[in-house]
Amino acid sequence: MKASQTKKIKEIKSYDFQPGRILAGKYKIIAKLGGGWEGEVYRIKELKTDIERAAKIFFPERNVNDVSSEMYAKKLHKLRDCPIVIKYHNQETMSYQTVPITILISEYVEGILLTDYLAGLKGKRLNIFQGIHLLHALVKGIECIHAHGEYHGDLHSENIIIRRLGLSFELKVIDFFNRGRVNRVKRSLDILDAIRIFYDAMGGQKYYHSHPEEVKSICCGLKRSLILKKFKTAHALRLYLETQVW
Protein backbone atom coordinates (compact mmCIF):
# COMPACT_ATOMS: atom_id res chain seq x y z
CA MET A 1 0.00 0.00 0.00
CA LYS A 2 1.29 3.45 -0.87
CA ALA A 3 2.14 5.64 2.10
CA SER A 4 -0.22 8.37 0.91
CA GLN A 5 -3.06 5.86 0.80
CA THR A 6 -2.82 4.77 4.42
CA LYS A 7 -4.52 8.08 5.27
CA LYS A 8 -7.43 9.90 3.71
CA ILE A 9 -6.75 10.26 -0.01
CA LYS A 10 -6.63 13.77 -1.40
CA GLU A 11 -9.49 14.33 -3.83
CA ILE A 12 -8.52 15.65 -7.25
CA LYS A 13 -11.35 16.76 -9.51
CA SER A 14 -9.27 17.87 -12.47
CA TYR A 15 -5.66 17.91 -13.65
CA ASP A 16 -6.19 20.14 -16.68
CA PHE A 17 -2.62 19.61 -17.85
CA GLN A 18 -1.62 21.97 -20.65
CA PRO A 19 0.14 21.11 -23.94
CA GLY A 20 3.89 20.90 -23.48
CA ARG A 21 3.78 19.57 -19.94
CA ILE A 22 6.11 16.62 -19.31
CA LEU A 23 4.69 13.52 -17.63
CA ALA A 24 6.90 11.12 -15.66
CA GLY A 25 9.94 12.62 -17.39
CA LYS A 26 9.13 10.61 -20.54
CA TYR A 27 6.10 12.03 -22.31
CA LYS A 28 4.99 15.45 -23.57
CA ILE A 29 1.32 16.37 -23.58
CA ILE A 30 -0.08 17.33 -26.97
CA ALA A 31 -3.75 17.79 -26.09
CA LYS A 32 -6.46 16.74 -23.68
CA LEU A 33 -8.82 14.19 -25.22
CA GLY A 34 -11.43 13.95 -22.49
CA GLY A 35 -12.24 13.06 -18.94
CA GLY A 36 -14.57 10.99 -16.83
CA TRP A 37 -15.27 9.57 -13.41
CA GLU A 38 -11.93 7.76 -13.11
CA GLY A 39 -9.61 10.38 -14.55
CA GLU A 40 -8.53 12.26 -17.66
CA VAL A 41 -7.16 11.15 -21.02
CA TYR A 42 -4.46 12.97 -22.98
CA ARG A 43 -2.78 12.66 -26.34
CA ILE A 44 0.95 12.47 -25.64
CA LYS A 45 4.28 12.03 -27.41
CA GLU A 46 7.03 9.77 -26.15
CA LEU A 47 10.12 12.00 -25.86
CA LYS A 48 12.73 9.44 -26.96
CA THR A 49 10.88 8.15 -30.01
CA ASP A 50 8.35 10.86 -30.99
CA ILE A 51 5.72 8.10 -31.05
CA GLU A 52 2.26 9.33 -30.12
CA ARG A 53 0.38 7.54 -27.37
CA ALA A 54 -2.64 8.07 -25.16
CA ALA A 55 -2.35 8.53 -21.41
CA LYS A 56 -5.16 7.85 -18.97
CA ILE A 57 -4.32 9.63 -15.72
CA PHE A 58 -6.32 8.26 -12.82
CA PHE A 59 -7.67 10.36 -9.99
CA PRO A 60 -6.11 8.86 -6.83
CA GLU A 61 -9.43 8.60 -4.97
CA ARG A 62 -10.78 6.50 -7.87
CA ASN A 63 -7.72 4.27 -7.96
CA VAL A 64 -6.98 3.31 -4.36
CA ASN A 65 -3.98 0.97 -4.19
CA ASP A 66 -3.95 0.99 -8.02
CA VAL A 67 -6.92 -1.39 -8.10
CA SER A 68 -8.67 0.40 -10.99
CA SER A 69 -5.56 0.98 -13.11
CA GLU A 70 -4.39 -2.62 -12.71
CA MET A 71 -7.84 -3.96 -13.55
CA TYR A 72 -7.97 -1.75 -16.62
CA ALA A 73 -4.50 -2.77 -17.80
CA LYS A 74 -5.24 -6.48 -17.35
CA LYS A 75 -8.53 -6.17 -19.20
CA LEU A 76 -6.92 -4.38 -22.15
CA HIS A 77 -4.20 -7.02 -22.28
CA LYS A 78 -6.73 -9.85 -22.13
CA LEU A 79 -8.65 -8.26 -25.01
CA ARG A 80 -5.59 -7.41 -27.11
CA ASP A 81 -6.86 -9.60 -29.98
CA CYS A 82 -10.14 -7.67 -30.25
CA PRO A 83 -9.81 -5.01 -32.98
CA ILE A 84 -12.32 -2.75 -31.22
CA VAL A 85 -10.14 -2.46 -28.08
CA ILE A 86 -7.18 -0.07 -27.78
CA LYS A 87 -3.77 -1.66 -27.17
CA TYR A 88 -2.19 -1.40 -23.72
CA HIS A 89 1.51 -0.48 -23.43
CA ASN A 90 2.59 0.17 -19.84
CA GLN A 91 2.01 2.11 -16.63
CA GLU A 92 3.90 5.03 -15.14
CA THR A 93 3.73 6.89 -11.84
CA MET A 94 4.44 10.51 -11.00
CA SER A 95 3.73 13.00 -8.25
CA TYR A 96 1.03 15.65 -8.52
CA GLN A 97 0.71 18.12 -5.62
CA THR A 98 2.74 15.66 -3.51
CA VAL A 99 0.23 12.89 -4.32
CA PRO A 100 1.42 9.82 -6.29
CA ILE A 101 -0.75 9.25 -9.36
CA THR A 102 -0.86 6.43 -11.89
CA ILE A 103 -0.76 6.84 -15.67
CA LEU A 104 -1.86 4.12 -18.06
CA ILE A 105 -0.14 4.37 -21.45
CA SER A 106 -1.92 2.93 -24.48
CA GLU A 107 -1.99 3.33 -28.23
CA TYR A 108 -3.26 6.60 -29.63
CA VAL A 109 -6.09 6.11 -32.09
CA GLU A 110 -6.81 8.63 -34.82
CA GLY A 111 -10.50 9.35 -35.04
CA ILE A 112 -13.35 11.28 -33.50
CA LEU A 113 -15.74 10.57 -30.65
CA LEU A 114 -19.09 9.34 -31.90
CA THR A 115 -20.75 12.27 -30.11
CA ASP A 116 -18.69 14.77 -32.11
CA TYR A 117 -19.10 12.81 -35.33
CA LEU A 118 -22.88 12.95 -35.05
CA ALA A 119 -22.81 16.63 -34.13
CA GLY A 120 -21.01 17.38 -37.40
CA LEU A 121 -23.55 15.61 -39.62
CA LYS A 122 -26.42 17.29 -41.41
CA GLY A 123 -29.38 16.86 -39.11
CA LYS A 124 -26.97 15.55 -36.46
CA ARG A 125 -27.97 11.96 -37.16
CA LEU A 126 -27.15 8.94 -39.30
CA ASN A 127 -29.38 7.67 -42.04
CA ILE A 128 -30.65 4.11 -41.78
CA PHE A 129 -27.92 2.62 -43.98
CA GLN A 130 -25.22 4.27 -41.86
CA GLY A 131 -26.97 3.34 -38.63
CA ILE A 132 -27.11 -0.36 -39.52
CA HIS A 133 -23.41 -0.39 -40.37
CA LEU A 134 -22.56 1.42 -37.14
CA LEU A 135 -24.55 -1.08 -35.10
CA HIS A 136 -23.01 -4.04 -36.93
CA ALA A 137 -19.46 -2.78 -36.29
CA LEU A 138 -20.25 -2.16 -32.62
CA VAL A 139 -21.96 -5.51 -32.06
CA LYS A 140 -19.16 -7.38 -33.84
CA GLY A 141 -16.69 -5.75 -31.43
CA ILE A 142 -18.85 -6.53 -28.40
CA GLU A 143 -19.13 -10.15 -29.53
CA CYS A 144 -15.33 -10.42 -29.52
CA ILE A 145 -15.13 -8.90 -26.04
CA HIS A 146 -17.75 -11.31 -24.72
CA ALA A 147 -16.02 -14.28 -26.38
CA HIS A 148 -12.93 -13.44 -24.30
CA GLY A 149 -14.98 -13.63 -21.12
CA GLU A 150 -15.29 -9.89 -20.58
CA TYR A 151 -17.79 -7.05 -21.01
CA HIS A 152 -17.60 -3.27 -21.44
CA GLY A 153 -20.19 -2.12 -18.94
CA ASP A 154 -20.64 1.52 -19.95
CA LEU A 155 -21.12 1.94 -23.69
CA HIS A 156 -22.26 5.35 -24.90
CA SER A 157 -21.41 7.80 -27.67
CA GLU A 158 -18.73 9.58 -25.63
CA ASN A 159 -16.51 6.52 -25.22
CA ILE A 160 -16.62 5.27 -28.80
CA ILE A 161 -13.95 6.50 -31.20
CA ILE A 162 -15.08 6.33 -34.78
CA ARG A 163 -13.34 6.21 -38.15
CA ARG A 164 -15.33 6.05 -41.36
CA LEU A 165 -13.90 3.56 -43.85
CA GLY A 166 -15.87 3.21 -47.07
CA LEU A 167 -19.09 1.31 -46.50
CA SER A 168 -18.30 0.46 -42.89
CA PHE A 169 -17.12 2.01 -39.66
CA GLU A 170 -13.96 1.23 -37.74
CA LEU A 171 -14.58 1.67 -34.02
CA LYS A 172 -12.56 1.70 -30.82
CA VAL A 173 -14.14 1.59 -27.37
CA ILE A 174 -12.59 3.20 -24.31
CA ASP A 175 -13.32 3.49 -20.58
CA PHE A 176 -14.35 -0.02 -19.59
CA PHE A 177 -16.35 0.00 -16.37
CA ASN A 178 -15.73 -2.57 -13.66
CA ARG A 179 -19.05 -3.81 -12.28
CA GLY A 180 -17.61 -6.94 -10.73
CA ARG A 181 -17.48 -10.47 -12.08
CA VAL A 182 -18.65 -11.20 -15.59
CA ASN A 183 -22.11 -12.71 -15.94
CA ARG A 184 -24.99 -12.81 -18.37
CA VAL A 185 -26.65 -9.72 -16.90
CA LYS A 186 -23.55 -7.57 -17.42
CA ARG A 187 -23.14 -8.79 -20.99
CA SER A 188 -26.81 -8.02 -21.56
CA LEU A 189 -26.12 -4.41 -20.60
CA ASP A 190 -23.69 -4.17 -23.52
CA ILE A 191 -26.40 -5.39 -25.92
CA LEU A 192 -28.93 -2.92 -24.54
CA ASP A 193 -26.40 -0.07 -24.72
CA ALA A 194 -25.49 -0.90 -28.32
CA ILE A 195 -29.12 -0.79 -29.43
CA ARG A 196 -29.66 2.46 -27.54
CA ILE A 197 -26.66 3.97 -29.35
CA PHE A 198 -28.17 2.81 -32.67
CA TYR A 199 -31.53 4.34 -31.73
CA ASP A 200 -30.04 7.67 -30.64
CA ALA A 201 -27.59 7.91 -33.58
CA MET A 202 -30.54 7.88 -36.00
CA GLY A 203 -32.37 10.68 -34.22
CA GLY A 204 -33.95 9.04 -31.21
CA GLN A 205 -37.62 9.34 -30.37
CA LYS A 206 -38.20 12.28 -32.74
CA TYR A 207 -37.63 10.10 -35.82
CA TYR A 208 -38.42 6.63 -34.50
CA HIS A 209 -42.02 6.58 -35.76
CA SER A 210 -40.84 7.15 -39.36
CA HIS A 211 -38.30 4.31 -39.37
CA PRO A 212 -39.11 1.11 -41.28
CA GLU A 213 -40.21 -2.02 -39.47
CA GLU A 214 -36.76 -3.55 -39.95
CA VAL A 215 -35.31 -0.88 -37.64
CA LYS A 216 -38.14 -1.10 -35.14
CA SER A 217 -37.69 -4.88 -35.00
CA ILE A 218 -34.18 -4.24 -33.66
CA CYS A 219 -35.00 -1.43 -31.25
CA CYS A 220 -38.17 -3.10 -29.90
CA GLY A 221 -39.27 0.28 -28.59
CA LEU A 222 -36.22 0.15 -26.29
CA LYS A 223 -38.12 -2.28 -24.10
CA ARG A 224 -35.45 -4.20 -22.21
CA SER A 225 -37.38 -7.45 -21.85
CA LEU A 226 -38.26 -7.59 -25.56
CA ILE A 227 -34.71 -6.83 -26.68
CA LEU A 228 -33.12 -9.46 -24.45
CA LYS A 229 -35.73 -12.06 -25.36
CA LYS A 230 -34.96 -11.54 -29.03
CA PHE A 231 -31.19 -11.04 -28.74
CA LYS A 232 -29.87 -13.17 -25.92
CA THR A 233 -26.26 -12.68 -27.03
CA ALA A 234 -24.22 -10.26 -29.11
CA HIS A 235 -23.64 -13.15 -31.50
CA ALA A 236 -27.39 -13.52 -32.01
CA LEU A 237 -27.75 -9.81 -32.73
CA ARG A 238 -24.87 -9.86 -35.23
CA LEU A 239 -26.37 -12.83 -37.09
CA TYR A 240 -29.75 -11.09 -37.16
CA LEU A 241 -28.20 -8.01 -38.76
CA GLU A 242 -26.31 -10.10 -41.31
CA THR A 243 -29.29 -12.23 -42.35
CA GLN A 244 -32.04 -9.62 -42.26
CA VAL A 245 -33.46 -8.54 -45.64
CA TRP A 246 -32.98 -4.78 -45.83
Strands 27-35 and 39-46: antiparallel
**Whole-number Å distance between alpha carbons of 200 and 68:** 30
Q: What is the mean pLDDT of each run of 10 residues along the chain (246 residues)?
A: 56 93 98 90 97 97 94 96 97 95 96 95 95 97 97 93 86 87 93 98 97 97 97 98 90
Domain 112-243: homologous superfamily in CATH: Transferase(Phosphotransferase) domain 1 (1.10.510.10)
The model scores a pTM over 0.95: no
CATH number of 3-107: 3.30.200.20
User: Mind listing the pLDDT tens digit for each residue in 16-57?
Assistant: 899 999 999 999 999 998 888 899 999 999 999 999 999 999
User: Mind listing the pLDDT tens digit for each residue in 112-142?
Assistant: 999 999 999 999 999 999 999 999 999 999 9
Instruction: Name the residue ranges covered by the structural domains of the chain.
Output: 3-107, 112-243
Residues 6+ apart with CB under 8 A from 173: 84, 85, 86, 141, 152, 155, 159, 160, 161
